[in-house]
Amino acid sequence: MNYKTLDTSKIYLITGAAGFIGYFLSRKLLEKGCRVIGIDNVNDYYDVNLKHTRLGYLESYEKFTFIRGDISDKDIVMKIFEEYKPNVVVNLAAQAGVRYSIENPDVYIQSNIIGFYNILEACRYNPVDHLVYASSSSVYGANKKVPFEETDFVDNPVSLYASTKKSNELMAHTYSHLYKIPATGLRFFTVYGPMGRPDMAYFGFANKYFAGEPIKIFNNGDFENDLYRDFTYIDDIVEGIERLLSNPPKGEVQHKVFNIGNNSPEKLMVFIETLEKALSKALDKEVQFEKIFEPIKPGDVPATYASTDQLQKAVGFKPETSIEKGLQKFADWYVDYYKVK
Ligand SMILES: NC(=O)c1ccc[n+]([C@@H]2O[C@H](COP(=O)([O-])OP(=O)(O)OC[C@H]3O[C@@H](n4cnc5c(N)ncnc54)[C@H](O)[C@@H]3O)[C@@H](O)[C@H]2O)c1
């Protein structure tokens, strides 16, 4: 093992702590005995109850402090850094979603650009051991060469969401260079799991099924040329982040970007069939979605496929949870949480 394991004596500031990934990361660090400061504006982009449920779990840990605040408010961000003096910052707060950015561009600039700039400024004046921040597989745009490698050309984003994430990488690089902030950007590949995001397809499909409605699949109904996605189970994402936390980039360039993806893309239709099977098992009855096929949506990309060589080299880990296992965990949680039959 040539990487450092988690330092539980440090203070971790996690933005977006009420969110899907932020919640699971916070919980893992708290379970290991770390002090975690969580910040989130608890916005209503999706069901706020789910965010409150996650926060409820986190607040049962003595070493967790929650601050409801917006990272696009510079005064709040500065105050938090001055008061809590975090050693490690994980910026996960952002407006997520590719399709939503077509209709609602303002909030992407506000949270993802201004918000991230404030985090960088705060790190500039309050030095940290490591700034880790969420980028996205969407920076690869419609790249054809697979698997996607961190060194690939990513200057052709096809959504504003992707542009903000690519901008974050550039901004982090500059701040890291100018102010010696050790920084790591993480390109997550379609993350799923229990307590996940209701705006994502797999969650929406379950919602539609229980509402007795058909699901819409944006792949032209063309199964030969189906969309491919590298679906990554939440525990794998959290494991990857945790392993990187105590291993900031060293040397001349203190900024590095990693893919965290499953390195094993699945056809969208296979993913949907696996979800049907998982729900069937959870409910002990046959589940089949009524399906409507529609054209691919603007901003959607045909395939995502992560190379995980860099991650493996750095921290000896690559995501490996199968969609059968991961979707079963989601289906079991969904059936229990929403008490559906
Ligand atoms: N889930 C995925 O598949 C995926 C893939 C690639 C990248 N990402 C990125 O990972 C990060 C976490 O994603 P997630 O799936 O947990 O999303 P999420 O929406 O569940 O979590 C983000 C949290 O940030 C909060 N937030 C948003 N804007 C804020 C602001 N201005 N100030 C304070 N809080 C704010 C939201 O209330 C939310 O709770 C995001 O940056 C997202 O873009 C996620």
What are the tens digits of pLDDT across the range 51-63? 999 999 999 999 9
Q: Quick one: pLDDT band at residue 42, thresholds 50, 70, 90? A: very high
Q: Which atom of ligand 1 is nearest to the CA of 96?
A: 43
* Torsion angle (degrees, nearest 10) of CA 198, 139, 149, 14: -60
Q: Helices 268-283 & 323-337, crossing angle to 10 degrees?
A: 50
Q: What is the rounded average pLDDT of the residues 278-283? A: 98
pLDDT in tens, 172-192: 999 999 999 999 999 999 999
* Torsion angle (degrees, nearest 10) of CA 204, 154, 101, 49: 50
pLDDT of 268 higher than 80: yes
Q: Which atom of ligand 1 is nearest to the CA of 197?
A: 20
Ligand 1 pocket residues where CB is under 6 Å: 15-16, 18-22, 40-43, 51, 70-72, 92-96, 111, 115, 134, 136, 188, 190-191, 197
Closest residue to atom 12 of ligand 1, CA basis: 92
Q: Quick one: pLDDT band at residue 2, thresholds 50, 70, 90? A: confident
Closest residue to atom 7 of ligand 1, CA basis: 136
Closest residue to atom 19 of ligand 1, CA basis: 19
**CATH top-level class of 11-192+232-261+305-319:** alpha beta
What does the alpha-carbon distance between residue 116 and residue 260 come to, in Å, rounded to a whole number? Answer: 20
To the query of whether residue 338 is one of the catalytic residues in this protein, the response is no
Q: What is the rounded average pLDDT of the residues 285-314? A: 93
What does the alpha-carbon distance between residue 325 and residue 153 come to, in Å, rounded to a whole number? Answer: 33
Instruction: Give the model's pLDDT for residue 156.
Output: 93
Q: How far is the CA of 93 from the centre of ligand 1 (A)?
A: 5
Closest residue to atom 37 of ligand 1, CA basis: 42
Q: Helices 115-125 & 160-179, crossing angle to 10 degrees?
A: 10
Beta strands in 50-104 (DSSP E): 64-68, 88-91
Q: How far is the CA of 1 from the centre of ligand 1 (A)?
A: 31
Do the Cβ atoms of 36 and 14 come closer than 8 Å?
A: yes
Give the contacts of 270 (CB within 8 A, at least 6 positions apart).
Answer: 323
Q: How far is the CA of 281 from the centre of ligand 1 (A)?
A: 30
pTM above 0.95, yes or no: yes
Cβ neighbours, 10 Å, residue 273: 14
Cβ neighbours, 10 Å, residue 110: 14
Question: Which tokens is 55 given?
Answer: 């926060």
Q: Which of 13, 15, 21 to probe ligand 1 with, by most ligand atoms within 8 A of CB?
A: 21
pLDDT of 312 higher than 80: yes
Which residues on neighbouring strands pair with residue 35, listed in sequence order? Answer: 11
Closest residue to atom 9 of ligand 1, CA basis: 134
pLDDT in tens, 201-250: 999 999 999 999 999 999 888 887 788 999 999 999 999 999 999 999 99
Instruction: Give the model's pLDDT for residue 223.
Output: 80
Question: Which tokens is 204 given?
Answer: 């929406």
Q: Where are the alpha helices (DSSP H) in 109-222?
A: 115-125, 160-179, 201-210
Q: Which of 39, 165, 191, 200 to probe ligand 1 with, by most ligand atoms within 8 A of CB?
A: 191
Burial string for 2-37 (b: 16+ CB within 10 Å, else e) reads eeeebeeebbbbbbbbbbbbbbbbbbbbbeeebbbb
Q: Which atom of ligand 1 is nearest to the CA of 72?
A: 31
pLDDT in tens, 144-167: 899 999 999 999 999 999 999 999
Task: State whether residue 234 is helix, strand or coil.
Answer: helix
Instruction: Give the model's pLDDT for residue 242.
Output: 98
Domain spans of the chain? 11-192+232-261+305-319
Among 203, 218, 115, 113, CA closest to 161: 113
pLDDT in tens, 119-136: 999 999 999 999 999 999
Of 12, 23, 108, 161, which residue is the catalytic one?
161
